[in-house]
Amino acid sequence: MQAGRLTPVQADALQKKAVTEKSTFIDVLLASGTINARDLAAFCAETFAYPLLDLAAINVTILPPKAIDAKLMATQRVIPLAKRGNKMSVALSDPTNIQALDQIKFQAESTVEPVIVQHDVLLKLLETLTKSTEQTIMDMTGDEGDIQFAEEESAAQAAPDAAAEVEDAPIVRFLNKMLMDAVNMGASDLHFEPYEKFYRIRFRVDGNLVEHAQPPTSIKDKLVSRIKVLSKLDISEKRVPQDGRMRLIVSSTKTIDLRVSTLPTLFGEKTVMRILDATQAQMGIDALGYDPDQKEILLEAVHRPYGMVLVTGPTGSGKTVSLYTCLNILNKPGINISTAEDPAEINLPGVNQVNVNDRAGLSFPVALKSFLRQDPDIIMVGEIRDLETADIAIKAAQTGHMVFSTLHTNDAPSTLTRLMNMGVAPFNIASSVILITAQRLARRLCTCKKPIEIAPDLLIKAGYKEHELDGTWKPYGPVGCERCNGTGYKGRVGIYQIMPITPAIEALILANGNAMQIAAQSESEGVKSLRQSGLVKVKNGLTSLEEVLGCTNE
């Protein structure tokens, strides 16, 4: 009124309306259209001599956390901006709200410095900041139906206090949604990752990590607790890594096992869940992507009465699925198969599977020694990690048993030198190992693929011979469609190096030959390197040259 922006009649009418509607004078003033929020903020700042701030330019992640109670922020319409010593800057749109300033001063035990902001921007930001975690999660999950976990009830009975703590409906719904999304997207792993300012969930789809969600950071502890209860882990132990597993009941005919690993990090426990789909072991050898000649060599080796077959490659290269596919081929009523794994990833009926437990004293060597007293035909060792395990496995192969195992090496020839470096005698390697297969997984091109032009010199540099570039074929490249979520790739295909141990390679082993000599000998015998196998897949239009170059060395 003093500034001439309102007549006494208008001001009186607005004041009465505010009392009648139990609203504030600023709300009814802006609703009347007499003045807009921007002009009102400028007027208040000038009249009361307070700083004016554009709240839209503020980075909400740097606002002081929990400086004042969320309820006080919502009811008094204030937002703490910064705190330095015993002074706090507070954003508000009504400088006459002395009650709010007094309450903040009392609660924060600080001197309050008011900063004027636009009323509409303030209300919008307040809604975001004070929106309950529960509502945020409900918005993210939508109307996701419940899913079941095997043995969930027994887990709750075993730890009733823990179960009660995490039987938070929004948390339960959110975890269910993440698991179903991962299954539907064909993900192999789920990563729940806490950071200082945010919390993110990523899925590994076809070998690549993709960010899927960023839920509120306030749910990270409850979410980990919920996962721990389902995985039968110690809910109170947050200082050391833990490993467990859970089973997800997707339908009456399909269940999916999940291997769970927790790891304490700077800002909370990171949890990784590996999806173990037992149907992968039943896919059959043809679905894995072996070339016809490679498949023939592999099948001939696994049907031998005794010896050792080694599968090598980095983590996530499909070694387990390859081994289980071989075991599935050999799994007959007349054959006794025993496996020692850490842990058993895929449940295979008819196979005696043992989980290694070092803390309980059940190590790979202990399990292997026990297997030899169990009248086995075929033994599978999850991984050869040390000399003792290697020695027992080799002795088993030499005494009439078929032994399968894995090693972490880059290719087939270097596997032999790795065993020598472990301390295994060359004559033991030569007399027991019958075949080594190295493998990688490359993303398979989606059906939306298209032929692309690649310069001949680049193809030759990649590993093709000049006579192969005869114009009868063209490399394909990714396009992107709904089926593949715009990536151009859907699923994966195996790239293999299958190296049988021939008399010539045995002679090199006994002569302490190095990996380069063994590789040269195997190549002269027609064994394709990983790169050469990958180039065949490119030629057949199964994957792109870029993928093969990305997962093989030459």
Q: pTM for the full model?
A: 0.71
Question: Above 60 in pLDDT, residue 162?
Answer: no
**More confident position, 536 or 342:** 536
Distance from chain centroid for Cα 94: 48
Q: What pLDDT digit, counting tens, does each position of 199-231 carry?
A: 999 999 888 899 999 888 888 899 999 999 999
DSSP E strands in 195-251: the ranges are: 199-205, 208-213, 242-249
Quote the Cα angle for 395-398-399, to 5°.
90
The DSSP 8-state label assigned to residue 466 in this structure reads G
- Predicted confidence at residue 65, as pLDDT, reads 63
| Burial class, 529, CB count within 10 angstroms (exposed 0-12 / middle 13-18 / buried 19+) | buried
Q: Which two tokens stand for residue 448?
A: 């939306």
- Predicted confidence at residue 156, as pLDDT, reads 44
Mean pLDDT of 99-113: 87
CA distance 394 to 354: 19
Which has the minimum average pLDDT: 280-294, 446-460, 482-496?
280-294
Q: Which two tokens stand for residue 324?
A: 């289980």
Mean pLDDT of 75-91: 88
**More confident position, 72 or 449:** 449
Question: Above 50 in pLDDT, residue 417?
Answer: yes
- Predicted confidence at residue 200, as pLDDT, reads 94
Residues 6+ apart with CB under 8 A from 298: 285, 290, 326, 435, 437, 498
One-letter amino acid for residue 356 of the chain = V
The DSSP 8-state label assigned to residue 515 in this structure reads H
Q: Which two tokens stand for residue 454?
A: 């690649």
CA distance 503 to 515: 16
- Predicted confidence at residue 136, as pLDDT, reads 63
CA distance 131 to 70: 10
- Predicted confidence at residue 163, as pLDDT, reads 47
Q: What pLDDT digit, counting tens, does each position of 480-502 carry?
A: 888 888 889 998 899 999 999 99
Distance from chain centroid for Cα 284: 26
Among the listed residues 480, 479, 437, 485, the one whose alpha carbon sits nearest the alpha carbon of residue 288: 437
Confidence of residue 422 (pLDDT cuts 50, 70, 90): very high
Confidence of residue 134 (pLDDT cuts 50, 70, 90): low
- Predicted confidence at residue 143, as pLDDT, reads 53
- Predicted confidence at residue 153, as pLDDT, reads 44
Mean pLDDT of 127-141: 64
- DSSP string across 252-319: SS-EEEEEEEEEEETTEEEEEEEEE-GGGGGS-GGGGT--HHHHHHHHHHHTSSSEEEEEE-STTSSH
Confidence of residue 172 (pLDDT cuts 50, 70, 90): confident
Q: What pLDDT digit, counting tens, does each position of 515-524 carry?
A: 999 999 999 9
Q: Please report where in the chains the tokens 């903040």 appear, as a residue.
A: 104
Helical (H) or strand (E) element with 222? helix 220-230
Question: Above 50 in pLDDT, residue 83?
Answer: yes
* Edge-to-edge order in the sheet of strand 255-265: 148-149, 242-249, 255-265, 268-276, 187-194, 199-205, 208-213
> Best-predicted range by mean pLDDT among 109-123, 165-179, 182-196, 497-511?
497-511
CA distance 339 to 309: 14
Among the listed residues 374, 428, 430, 434, the one whose alpha carbon sits nearest the alpha carbon of residue 404: 434
Confidence of residue 151 (pLDDT cuts 50, 70, 90): low
Coil/strand/helix, residue 386: coil
